[in-house]
Homo-oligomer: A and B are copies of this chain.
Amino acid sequence: VSASHSDLITLTTDFGEGSPYVAALKGVILGVNPAARLLDLSHRVPPQNIRHVAFFLTAALPYFSAGPLHIVVVDPGVGTERPLLYIEVGGHRLLVPDNGCWTMLARDVGGTPRVIRLAEPRYWRPQVSATFHGRDILAPVAGHLSLELDPRELGPATTEWVHLSVPTPVLESARLSGEVVFVDDFGNLLTNIPAAAFTAWHDRPVRITVAGQEVPRRVRTYGEADPGSLVALVSSNALLEVAVAQGSAAAHLNASVGTPVEVKLIT
């Protein structure tokens, strides 16, 4: 069996690392394709948090080349009528519940998605539980896809799916208003204000606030700031980021997802 991108399967779930459910997913995939190469992305998505995993995917998947199959199991609607989908978009391939977790990624990577609704039980586990479709449907389907199954075998193409609505920043000529959309494990605050909007004013003085609290300084990188000081910078995925050098901006500002962020030109 030669190694190729197509036998790589990544896993992103909200199961937690203590969970036997992650292990069960892995077992089922390997039962279908013992040569599949499994890669954990994260099992720490906060439970049932679609917005979180949506942002996670936009921050992670663009760094993968075409080839790997990405399974995403954050699935509050498991067992209800919500479909499961196979997606191709911008060269990326995903297996997801139809809850919008992938549409922010699709917006970022561009292109017209190809979407197939999983409908062929012959590629599923014989018994499908009401509470764990990741194990009983997505995992065996992933195994089959990694064995080069044509996705058309999985079910009908569809042009209907759930779109996740995400907060849109307001970008005006002298004011950018957005919010915190992700807090990383360092406590850095990632906002939905694109760095391009921010850097366009490069040499002009601005006032940056997070929930009304001023961020006193802009830097290019953490190391330019004194440890413990609050700074704004361009994040590694080109968003406005607010950080505390060698500390947690989330703790320092008592900020979390949804906290408003504003950048104003000082005239």
Binding site for B on A (CB under 8 A): 1-5, 8, 10, 12, 14-28, 30-31, 34-35, 37-45, 47-48, 55-56, 59-65, 67-68, 76-80, 82, 129-132, 135-136, 184-186, 220-224, 233-236, 241, 246
Contacts and interface: CB of A to CB of B under 8 A. Distances in A.
A43, A135, A221, A234: most-surrounded residue (chain B CB, <10 A) = A221
Q: Which 4 A-B pairs have the closest CB atoms?
A: A16-B185, A79-B221, A23-B60, A132-B236
A235 to B, nearest CB: 7
B27 A223 contact: no
A19, A67, A132: most-surrounded residue (chain B CB, <10 A) = A19
Contact of A186 (B5, B20, B27, B47): B47
A68 B180 CA distance: 39
A65 B221 contact: no
A127 to B, nearest CB: 9
Contacts of A40: 40
7 contacts: A4-B34, A16-B185, A20-B55, A20-B60, A27-B61, A47-B185, A131-B221
A78 B131 contact: no
Nearest to A224: B80
A130 B65 contact: no
Nearest to A46: B18
